[in-house]
Amino acid sequence: MLTSDEAMAAGDAGDDVILVRPETTPDDVLGMQASKGILTTRGGQTSHAAVVARGWGIPAVVGAAEAHIDGTEVTIGEHRLSAGDIITIDGATGAVYPGRLATAGAEPPPELHTLLAWADSVARGHVQVRANADTKGDASHGRELGAQGIGLCRTEHMFLAHDRLPIMRRFILSDDPVTEAAALAELEEAQSHDFETVLEAMDTLPVTIRLLDPPLHEFLPDLLDLTAREAAGELSDEERTALTAVRRLHESNPMLGTRGVRLGAVRPGVYQMQVRALCRAAAKLFARGKQPHVEIMIPLVVDAEELRIARGWVRDVLDEIGHPELKSTVVTFGVMIETPRAALVAGEVARYADFFSFGTNDLTQMTYAFSRDDVEARLLPAYQQLGILPANPFAELDQQGVGQLVQMAAESARVTNPDIKLGACGEHAGDPESAAFLVRLGVDSVSCSPFRVPMARLGVAQALLECGRVHVNDVEFDFDDVATGPGEPAAEAAEAAEATPTAAGDEAGDATGDAIAVDEALVLHVLRVRGFVTPDGFTASLGEHPSEILAALVEQGAVRHIEQRDMFGLLPPGKERQESLLDSYADDAVRSGLACLLYTTDAADEHRD
C-alpha cells in the first residue's frame, strides 16, 4: 500500500500489508502499525522507518534507491507494481522479490540463554542494558529480552494515535487560552494513562521519559498536500484553518528549529502538562503498591540556562502535586546530549542534571552536517567505496569525531558533578564496536531497540572484560540455572569454565596465574570466539600481538587480514585447523572449557545468522 490510510484499511480487512513510501514520518505511524513490513525509497539505518521497524520487530527495507514511486505505481527495475500487488521483502539483505515467498522464523537455542546469563553476570553493577520503548507492549517485550529499564521513551509517539492526534492538533491550532487549556487537559488525561502502562510494565526498573521533542508541524497535515488541494478548490473550512497554521509554523529546516526544550519555552504549558501526567501515573502506581522509577529527560539542550529553566518547570509541578514519594530519589532529572554545543559545554550543563543520555543518532547527524535520511542511500556508499569513511557513521559510532565529543562531555560533566550518571540511547548502543567504545568511556547504561537488547547485553559484557572495568575472576557466575552443552552437567561446565584461560583486560594466565604461551592454537581460539580482532584486541586477550603467527596464518589461507581496518578474521580452513588443535591442550579441564565456550558461541552465531 502506498499511503498510511490504505495500509490501515487493508490491515483492518485482515490483509498482510507492506507499506511503501518515499520515507516515513510520525504521521505514518498508524499505517506502519497495520503493516507487516515497510519499504522506503529514502532513508537509512537510523531513519524513522528503520528505527520504528527495529523497535516493533518487523522487517524493513529502507533507502531502496532503485525503487521509484510515481503516483499510484511503484517501479523496481523492470517490474511495475500497483497497490494490492504482492511482494516479499528481506529486511536483513534489503532484497525485494515479486510475489509471495515462503518465510520462517527461528527460536533461540538454550545455549544463547546461557551465554546471555553469563554476560549479565559480568555487567551486573557496572552497566545496564535498557530498551528504547514507547508503549506497554514495547516495554514488556524489552523486559522479556533482558532489558533492565527503558533508556528512551519517546512521548511524541503517544500523541499520534487516532484518538490523540485530533486533540494535539486542536492544541496547536488554538488561538485563545481557553481552547488551549482544554486541549492540554485532554492530552494530560490520555498521556497519564499511557505513562501508567509503561511504568507498570517496567515496575521497579528505571524509565527515562523524554519530553516532547519533534517540531509541531509533524502533528499537522502536509503543507504541499494542503497547498495543492487549495489550488484545486478542494479545502473545507477546517482544512483552510489548518493550512493557515501550517504556514505559520513552517520552518525551512524544522529539525534544527523550534523543537525540544525550545518548544517548551515558546509554548508554555506543554512540558508542565507532560510532567503532571507522569506524576499522576506514578502516584496511581504507588497507591497500588508498585515501585515506579522515573527519569525525566529534556531534549535538544544547547545551554545550561535552558536546562536550569526547564528544571524549574519540573520542580514547580512536583511542588504542585505534593506527593511525598515523588519528591524523593524516585524522580531524577537529566538531559539528552545530542548537539555539539551541549557536548562542548557539558561541564556547565551538568550543574543542573542528575544524568546525561547521549543521543548519538542526532549527535552524529549534527556533527557531520549529514541529513541521515538523505545520505545513507547514495552518499555514504560512495564515501565508503572511495575510502573517505571506513564505515557508515549512523551504524557504527565515529570514535574519532563524534566519539571525541562524547568523551569530552563525559569528562567535563564528571568534574562538575562526580555523581552524574551517563548513558547512551542512540541505536549505536546495539552495535558491539560502538557499545565497546561507550563502555570504555565509563557509561552506566546503554539503550537500544528491544530486539537488539540481547546483542547489546553480550557486547557490553565483552567490552567490560576487554577494557578492564571488570575482571573475570571477580565475577560470580550462576551455573545452576543456565543451559549447558549437550550431555554436560552444570557442575562440570562450571569447573571447566573456571579452568578456562582468562583474557579480559587481565593478564592472560592459567589457573595458577602463570603466563600462557601464545601459540597458533590460542591465536585461532581468540579469532574463533571474538570474530574480527584488531591488534589491540589480541593484546587485551593474550597480553601481546602475535604478529608472526598471524602472518603465517594469513599466508596459509587460514586467516584473512582486512588492511583498511587492520582487523583479522577466521576463514573456514582456520576454523577447521582450530578444532583440530583443541587436543593440543594437555589439561582436560581447559580443553573441555574451551570446547564448551565454542559450542555456546557457535549456537549464538547460528541464531544471529
* 48: annotated active-site residue: yes
Cell output for 425: 540511547
Count of residues for the chain?
Answer: 609
Q: Which of 153, 279, 425, 596 is catalytic?
A: 425
Question: pTM higher than 0.85 for the full model?
Answer: no
- At residue 13, the pLDDT reads 81
In the 8-state DSSP scheme, what is residue 518?
P
Q: 496 near 585, Cβ under 8 Å?
A: no
Q: 257 near 294, Cβ under 8 Å?
A: no
Q: What is the pLDDT of residues 93-106, one digit of tens each?
A: 788 888 888 777 66
Q: What is the pLDDT of residues 433-475, one digit of tens each?
A: 898 999 999 999 999 988 889 989 999 999 999 998 999 888 8
b/e per residue, 70-79, with b = 16+ CB within 10 A?
eeeebebeee
Closest listed residue to residue 466, CA positions, set 431, 505, 435, 433:
505
Three-state SS string across 148-179, please? CCEEEEEHHHHHCCCCCHHHHHHHHHCCCHHH
pLDDT confidence band for 537 (50 / 70 / 90):
confident
Q: What is the pLDDT of residues 471-495, one digit of tens each?
A: 988 888 866 544 444 333 333 333 4
pLDDT higher than 50, residue 266 = yes
The more confidently predicted of residues 393 and 90 is 393
Q: 554 near 561, Cβ under 8 Å?
A: yes
Tell me the C-alpha distance between 139 and 134, whole Å: 7
H/E stretch holding 223:
helix 223-231
Q: 447 near 151, Cβ under 8 Å?
A: yes
To which residue does cell 533461540 refer?
Answer: 108
- At residue 333, the pLDDT reads 95
In the 8-state DSSP scheme, what is residue 134?
-
In the 8-state DSSP scheme, what is residue 509?
B
b/e per residue, 360-380, with b = 16+ CB within 10 A?
bbbbbbbbbebebbbbbbeeb
Other CB atoms closer than 10 Å to residue 93's CB: what's the count? 8
Amino acid type, 140: S
Lowest-pLDDT range of 24-28, 70-74, 118-122, 210-214? 24-28
pLDDT confidence band for 46 (50 / 70 / 90):
low
What percentage of the chain reaches a pLDDT higher than 70?
86
Lowest-pLDDT range of 83-87, 125-129, 164-168, 329-333? 329-333
Phi, psi of 241 (to 5 degrees): -65, -40
Closest listed residue to residue 59, CA positions, set 49, 68, 69:
49
Which 3 state secondary structure label does DSSP give 206? strand
* Residues ≥6 apart with Cβ < 8 Å to 82: 72, 73, 74
Sequence-separated contacts (24+) of 203-206 with Cβ below 8 Å: 203/285, 203/290, 203/291, 203/292, 204/291, 204/293, 205/143, 205/147, 205/148, 205/149, 205/150, 205/293, 206/128, 206/130, 206/148, 206/149, 206/150, 206/293, 206/294, 206/295
Amino acid type, 301: V
Tell me the C-alpha distance between 555 and 532, whole Å: 17
Q: 571 near 537, Cβ under 8 Å?
A: no
Question: Please, how many CA atoms are within 13 Å of residue 585, restricted to the half-sphere of its CB?
Answer: 23
Closest listed residue to residue 127, CA positions, set 359, 458, 413:
458
Residue 596 backbone zone (phi > 0: left; psi -120 to 50: alpha; other: beta): alpha
Mean of the per-residue pLDDT values of the chain:
83
Tell me the C-alpha distance between 346 and 349, whole Å: 5
- At residue 597, the pLDDT reads 46
Phi, psi of 563 (to 5 degrees): -65, -40
